[in-house]
A and B are shown apart, each in its own frame.
Chain A
């Protein structure tokens, strides 16, 4: 009985939070089209999230490309399909690995950053201070951050894809003696718009999810300094889960249309 009550309460809790998150998203869409626009802050956030994440995302992408090729190469050789390696690697990276790995890395770096920053601004009353000084903190802090992640994640993913493919090419050129031209000819021959367009579109949703959940957790942070840690942590956990759900949905939708 007690267990049931706990269960019911946690389900209700979950639903309540989901409702709050939806309202939060709704507020974003209302505010994003209303003047004034915080252009400078948006650019600052874009810089912070885009440029500053490039190194991390680049290194990760490079290693993923390297490792992925190294791992699949022996099996492909065994099957006598070494020539298919570039197309296999490129499709996997462009369609799935690049977007999801980059988004997860950014959920860790950017999502937790937003959660912690907004959380600490909330507990130190900086958000209230903004409110009092006549600036809409939601617009200034939340809208700019969600917009920045939504715009920057796709670019980061594209760069990560490119770097990962380059890493894969390095392995191929060292182990298999493939020229740059041949490798990328193979890559582009095997890629299709069906691969690249839905994969790029879904990264916008990934970016939106990262910004939304991070902002939501930070903006409604409670319980002082400890709450900031909780906000940053839950932001990462929930974003990661949401990313996989979105990815699944994206694949299903892509499947319907192609």
Chain B
């Protein structure tokens, strides 16, 4: 795999080699390779059903992959214990496509929920309110602390979901289609927020999207996923300039 020279001196936090995943007869991932370097934002683009969501779910252990290796911060996902998996998950945040806020809980309870099992990480805190308020301020929704998810708009939900991801102070954040289902203005707001969080918490990120504007704005580097393999790789500008019709299809649609 040809490496981009600008990352040569950086160390990868996630390494994926030869990832395969099959659902029934349908091979969704067919030998996918990827490196995520510290502090970068990697955008993975692909058509619907090209296996991008499946890939990051395999990454976090929500799906089991059939073949290949996944290494997150030096730990192989194939043989981690349950405790180790939990530790990895506190380091890797996941923003779900549909926000996935817990309907039956208030915003505060939603944000407190991840802390229930991870208080150890923060030295056994008893009052979580300052942490909740801090992340809410980071996403600009401190006033919504006692609302229920059903009272929030789609954009607000996305922000709260982001806040919930942030509350565990992850070093890596995985975004699954962060702008899907939002109007362009709200999408823009979310993307700006992602950028600011990237800077504020200095996280590494994988963003899965088919939103070209989002990709252009946020990406340090991009991977195009076609038929379960990484078809093309490079910066937004490099790929945008590519003459390959399959690559062009992503940008000209």
Q: A residues bordering B, Cβ < 8 Å?
A: 36, 117, 120-121, 124-126, 128-135
Q: B residues bordering A, Cβ < 8 Å?
A: 57, 60-62, 86, 89-90, 92-94, 96-98, 100-104, 113-114, 116-118, 164, 168
| Residue with the greatest number of chain B CB neighbours at <10 A, chosen from A128, A134, A135 | A134
In the bound assembly, the distance between CA atoms of A189 and B97 in angstroms comes to 63
A residues within 8 A CB of B92? 132
Give the dominant DSSP class at A's interface.
helix
| Residue with the greatest number of chain A CB neighbours at <10 A, chosen from B61, B86, B93 | B86
Contacts A131-B62, A132-B94 given; does A126 touch B89 at CB 8 Å: no
In the bound assembly, the distance between CA atoms of A135 and B116 in angstroms comes to 8
In the bound assembly, the distance between CA atoms of A120 and B98 in angstroms comes to 12
Contacts A132-B94, A133-B164 given; does A126 touch B100 at CB 8 Å: yes
CB–CB A126/B86 < 8 A: no
Of all chain A residues, the one with the shortest Cβ separation from B117 is A134
In the bound assembly, the distance between CA atoms of A36 and B120 in angstroms comes to 14
Of all chain B residues, the one with the shortest Cβ separation from A131 is B62
Closest 3 CB pairs of A and B: A133-B114, A129-B100, A125-B100
CB–CB A133/B96 < 8 A: no
Q: Can you give 16 contacting A-B residue pairs, CB < 8 Å?
A: A36-B117, A124-B98, A125-B98, A128-B62, A128-B96, A129-B100, A129-B102, A131-B89, A132-B60, A132-B89, A132-B94, A133-B89, A134-B117, A134-B118, A135-B114, A135-B117
In the bound assembly, the distance between CA atoms of A124 and B61 in angstroms comes to 18
Of all chain A residues, the one with the shortest Cβ separation from B176 is A125
In the bound assembly, the distance between CA atoms of A129 and B103 in angstroms comes to 12
| Residue with the greatest number of chain B CB neighbours at <10 A, chosen from A120, A131, A133, A134 | A133
CB–CB A135/B113 < 8 A: yes
B residues within 8 A CB of A120? 103
Partner of B90 from A117, A121, A134 at Cβ < 8 Å: A134
In the bound assembly, the distance between CA atoms of A124 and B102 in angstroms comes to 9
In the bound assembly, the distance between CA atoms of A36 and B119 in angstroms comes to 14
B residues within 8 A CB of A36? 117
A128-B94, A134-B114 known; 12 other A-B pairs, CB under 8 Å? Answer: A124-B103, A125-B98, A126-B102, A129-B94, A129-B102, A131-B89, A132-B94, A133-B89, A133-B113, A133-B164, A134-B89, A134-B168
